[in-house]
Amino acid sequence: MTDTVIKNVRMLINNRINEVNILINDSKIEKISKTASINAVDHIINGRGNLALPSGIDVHVHFRDMKEKHKEDWYTGSCAAAAGGITTVIDHPNTQPPTLNKKSFYQKLIKARSKSVIDFGLNGGVESKNTGELTELWNLGVTSFGEIFGSQNLGEALDKIKRFGAVACIHAEDETINRKLMEKYKNNHNPGVHSLIRPPKSEEAAVAALLSTAQRSCAGLIRPPESEEAAVAALLKKQLTLHFCHISTKNAVNLIHSAKEEGKDVTCEVTPHHLFLSAKSWKRLGSRGKMNPPLREPCHIPPLWEALNDHTIDMIASDHAPHTIEEKNTDIYDAPPGVPGVETLFPLMLEAAKHNHITLKRLIEVTRLNPAKRFGFDAHNKGDIKKGFDADIIIVDTSNTTPIRGEKLHSKAGWTPFEGTPALFPRLTLLRGMIIWDEGITVKKGYGNHCLRNASYGENDNTY
């Protein structure tokens, strides 16, 4: 029997907006219909004629906790996600302690289970010292492996990941390029020098080394685009199942496009900060704008949007990496890299769709369908708003554009690089048929589920 009905909402069906009712039973979508009866149900949600969309899956967050809980913890991070319409995340392993073995995996899992209000997966870390732990991490049910840094000598580890059939998540920067430029610019303390130290060619060389076709892009500075491009190229040679994190340069995008045409199993993500901010933002942000890969020159932004819309870029991910404002407001070389973003990802993209920078259909693909398929969440009935899928839904009043204000966000960071930017925040967020956000969090800590990937160990095995 239907237990919840969302009545009077607008939904994209077959590329047309339709007025429908959504029937939910036992956390799953039961029916979507214009004429469905709403009698004898436990709970009726008035959609007010608002837009209903699948909630987001953010495949790249750093929810900190443990030894870095002053920056973020699983409760505050998941609350921020829910407020922004994200109901499933993948947490990356570079926490303190890092997720490199069974003990550290369970340390994080216990924190996440007890605090998270949203569903989640956990990535396994890859370092030269933990190659012998990778099989156990895989059997424990890690979603994928990485971020893996392209500069590391990890041949044996990558061979194991290839044998597992696991996704290798790559941070594509060539640190040899970056180190040389760091030495060159070491006396320059202008915040914008970070973009010079890690240039476009660093990203492009890393991408090309994997994809086996090295190319060059427009010149850059300390983290120039070439750093990313070199790293991407280096990794694409290994025939792994690859996912490139936070691609930020036009030539790296071109390399990935060519690899896809050659039939390579490769996907990539782009962050909102590389779509909406540029090296011109250094003046406003100062050292708060430090992230890896860095803010790029404006010439890279249109190609990123084009690649997002032409299916070269597969998904949007926040790379939510919160630090306190005190930690960020220091010399550029001392400030930690990373910005908060899980709460603003979907609202920024919804506003972009409102202004026709991306279609609603494509927005659903890059925030939900593609992440679910690539990282196995479709096996957990996550993906579309269709019969049998989890009722993970956001309700959005598309007339209610508001400026982003850091003081109103829910991350412990307490600030945002998108201060004042127009955005469309969800009115309601539902996870598995339950409202988890309605002008505040409405569920208890621990409501979120661990989306386990075919684990050999039991879900309740908390030993280490």
Q: Is 70 marked as binding a ligand?
A: no
- The secondary element (H helix, E strand) that includes residue 372 is helix 370-374
- 164 annotated as ligand-binding: no
Q: Residue 182: what pLDDT?
A: 92
**Mean per-residue pLDDT, 110-133:** 96
**Dihedral-angle region of residue 311 (phi above 0 means left; psi in -120 to 50 means alpha; beta otherwise):** left
11 vs 229, residue with greater confidence: 11
Binding residue per annotation — 410? Answer: no
Residue 463's pLDDT is 43
Q: Is there a binding annotation on residue 273?
A: no
At residue 122's C-alpha, the angle toward residues 435 and 249, to 5°, is 95
Range scoring the smallest mean pLDDT among 153-157, 193-197, 282-286, 411-415: 153-157
CATH number of 56-380: 3.20.20.140
What's 365's DSSP letter? I
Q: What is the mean pLDDT of residues 113-118?
A: 99
pTM over 0.85: yes
- Was 323 annotated as part of a binding site? yes
Compute the mean pLDDT over every residue in the chain, rounded to the nearest whole number. 91
Q: What is the reported pLDDT for 112? A: 98
Report the C-alpha gap between 377 and 369 in whole angstroms: 9
> What does the alpha-carbon distance between residue 93 and residue 99 come to, in Å, rounded to a whole number?
5
% pLDDT > 90, the chain: 81
Asked if residue 42 belongs to a known ligand binding site, the reply is no
pLDDT of residue 98: 97
pLDDT band at 454 (very low <50, low <70, confident <90, very high): low
Tell whether 150 is in a known binding site: no
Q: 167-181, 334-348, 445-459: which has the highest mean pLDDT?
A: 334-348
**Ligand-binding site membership of 147 (annotated):** yes
**End-to-end CA distance of the chain, in Å?**
42
**Rounded to 10 degrees, what is the CA torsion of 314, 16, 45, 352?**
50
- Report whether 337 belongs to an annotated binding site: yes
pLDDT at 177 over 70: yes
Q: Is the Cβ–Cβ distance between 216 and 204 less than 8 Å?
A: yes
The answer on whether 300 is annotated among ligand-binding residues is: no
Enumerate residues 6+ apart whose C-beta is below 8 A from 236. 207, 208, 209, 210, 211, 212, 213, 242, 255, 259, 264, 266
Segments in 310-344 forming alpha helices (H) = 325-328
Pairwise CA distance, residues 206 & 226, whole Å = 8
Q: Is residue 381 scored above 60 in pLDDT? A: yes
According to the annotation, is 425 in a ligand binding site?
no
pLDDT at 375 over 60: yes
Enumerate the active-site residues.
319
Task: Determine contact, residues 435/428, Cβ cutoff 8 Å.
Answer: yes
> Domain extents for the chain?
56-380
pLDDT digits (tens, 9 = 90+) for 328-344: 999 999 999 999 999 99
319 is in an annotated binding site: yes
Residues 181-239: pLDDT tens digits?
999 999 999 999 999 999 999 999 888 876 652 222 222 334 566 666 666 665 556 67
Task: Report cis status (omega within 30 of 0) of the bond before 97.
Answer: yes
